[in-house]
Amino acid sequence: MRRLAALAALALTLCACAGSALPSAPRCFTGPVPRVGRPVRDEMFALTRRERERAERAPPLVRARILEALPALFPSVGDLASAPRCDAELQDENAAALRAEPLGFSRLLVARLRTVHDLRLLLPLVTRSEESITPYQSGPDEPGPPPPRSLVRHLALAGIPAAWAVNNDPEARRLVLDRLRASGDARELILVHGGAAALFREALRGDPARAQGGEGPSLLRAWLPDLARRLAGPADRASLELVLLRLADLGTYAARLGAGPEARALVDDLLARRGELPIAQGIPGAARDLAEVARGALHDLEAPQPSVSEAALPPPRRDPFSVWRDWLDAEPAGGKVPAADALARVRDLDGELASLRFYAPRCRVIEELGQWLPPDEASRRFDALVAPAFDGEHIRVSTETLCRLGVALRLGGVDEARRVKLLLRLLSAAPEQIGARDRSGDERGPAMGWPADEEPVGEVAARALARNLGWVERHVDLRAWLAQAAAAPVPSGRAAAARWSALQPAFERVIAWHTSGAPDARPETAAAILRAWMESLRAGKVAEGATHLHGVEVANVRVRALGEHGRRAGLAEEIGAFLAERQGARSAVIAAYLLSL
């Protein structure tokens, strides 16, 4: 998602630069607060200006965090010819600081790097010598060790959408390909991995069965010894993530790019060892993840599809490494906002909520509140936060109430049982308990439209549960609801299938718990769910949604789940026969392999 956001922002910057130079366009950050005659966007412009001014007065760490959140406030103005281009102005402001000699490395610089999207600013930072960057200047609320100066390079590299760069900008292409060829840092290689897939697709352009160039095949061949070295090397979560990404791409591209036999030999060895390689030692679930991705790659090598489409990694058993969560989004020097500063920030946001009228700006403020509330304050405010979403047993639906519910379910300072109780209330709400969506605080216009089949309450709940799968093991009422829902037919319709797709990991946690041998576990419950899935797949009930992506996704994931959980549920023979009926389908091939482990 972060890469998609960067790509969108880059496109916005490229197309908006000319607009920002128009004399008739008001400024976003200076002069009179802009007004464009659209009430919602006018309120967002005013909120943006106030937040920017607060950042200038705030302590260093608070200032940096406000500035990082500022782009989320910028209203969309693509339909307005002479509106301010806030993002382009922000890039202009960043330019002077990012071109300074020497470059002052501080928390403020990190904030700038997290919000810049201009290639002409980012490219020099990736290649800038560390000698021209000062040591990190820790602020008063940063007690941790200072980060290395290489973080500047990595944050800049993360701002470049690698696949877009390979296809659209010669200088950025050279930089991405240089990193792909020369870097040994797994984290850096994950950042530019999308550039490799773009290069491979380029080599196959015009003929998906045969390579038409040298750069793609040579890069893929260079991966093979590197993969073997990493598989035999020490356990490392980042290196493991890179290996899994590259294994999946081997399946898609190796045969087409002339490296099929070599890739097959590597995959065969990995499968013969069932993923039990040194890189996976001490990482729970890693060996089985390796084996599953390798089996998918083998299928793709043996039965290449007529069109080229990268295989997504399967649901992880390991704790997957994220370049954002585990690295680039972390506080660089262990910064902790003092409680007094956090409460001052909360008071400012409370003041905004008291005066803002429209849902979009109110939602942004509510989301910010969720980031700043200290744990005890979050617990105290929880009921008041969600109260506007309810009218007795009925749920009020609006952009704001959905925001409130989503933020409430994310509040880590609130007792888990209270959040699970709210989650269950949302999951179990009957259709007649969910009101019609209130659009009175949304922007209106002739081009505005909304999906007729949306199920926003269920989506908010499903996303929250997907972020907190540990709740399944710890809360019996939640397990009971999930067990009943998992065995029911998948609801028809795009939105319902999307919700069921988001709930699928939780359904599988219920199955895993009931086959875990826990004191209250009931293996027959797991078996009943798996049998219900087989029946629905046989009858084509899941595939009713196959006209859209989520229906196909639910069907494929459930086939995989049969192989993942069938043996522990005592259904190995029954599921094996079912999978044999679907011989040749990729999901069934992988499921049969998992069943054999």
pLDDT tens track for 132-146: 999 999 999 999 999
Residue 394 DSSP one-character state: E
The answer to whether 489 and 536 have CB atoms below 8 angstroms apart is yes
The answer to whether 150 and 332 have CB atoms below 8 angstroms apart is no
Residue 106, strand partner residues: 137
Strands 394-398 and 390-391: what pairing? antiparallel
Report the C-alpha gap between 286 and 321 in whole angstroms.
Answer: 11
Strand order in the sheet with 434-438: 390-391, 394-398, 434-438
Per cent of the chain over pLDDT 90 is 82
The answer to whether 91 and 118 have CB atoms below 8 angstroms apart is yes
Q: What is the mean pLDDT of residues 448-472?
A: 84
> Has residue 4 got a pLDDT over 50?
no
Report the C-alpha gap between 239 and 231 in whole angstroms.
Answer: 9
Q: Which residues make Cβ contacts (< 8 Å) with residue 402, sequence separation at least 6?
A: 389, 456, 457, 460
Report the C-alpha gap between 230 and 239 in whole angstroms.
Answer: 7
Q: Helix H segments across 128-236?
A: 150-158, 162-168, 170-182, 186-191, 193-203, 215-231
Domain residue limits, the chain: 1-160, 488-597
Q: Which of 571, 492, 491, 495 is nearest to 530 (CA)?
A: 571
Residues making up the chain, counted from first to last: 597
CB atoms within 10 A of CB 147: 22
Q: Is the dihedral of CA 312, 4, 115, 68 positive or negative?
A: negative
**What is the pTM assigned to this prediction?**
0.91
> Has residue 453 got a pLDDT over 60?
no
Report the C-alpha gap between 434 and 394 in whole angstroms.
Answer: 6
The answer to whether 337 and 62 have CB atoms below 8 angstroms apart is yes
SS3 109: helix
Report the C-alpha gap between 101 and 245 in whole angstroms.
Answer: 38
The answer to whether 215 and 203 have CB atoms below 8 angstroms apart is yes
Which runs of E-coded beta strand occur in 415-568?
434-438
For residue 4, with 0-12 CB atoms within 10 Å meaning exposed, 13-18 middle and 19 or more buried, which class applies? exposed
The answer to whether 551 and 544 have CB atoms below 8 angstroms apart is yes
Higher pLDDT, 576 or 13: 576
pLDDT at residue 75 in the model: 93
> Has residue 129 got a pLDDT over 50?
yes
pLDDT tens track for 80-119: 888 899 999 999 999 999 999 999 999 999 999 999 999 9
CA 539-543-546 angle, 5° bins: 160
pLDDT tens track for 183-236: 999 999 999 999 999 999 999 887 766 676 689 999 999 999 999 999 999 999
Tokens of 522: 């009931």
pLDDT at residue 81 in the model: 81
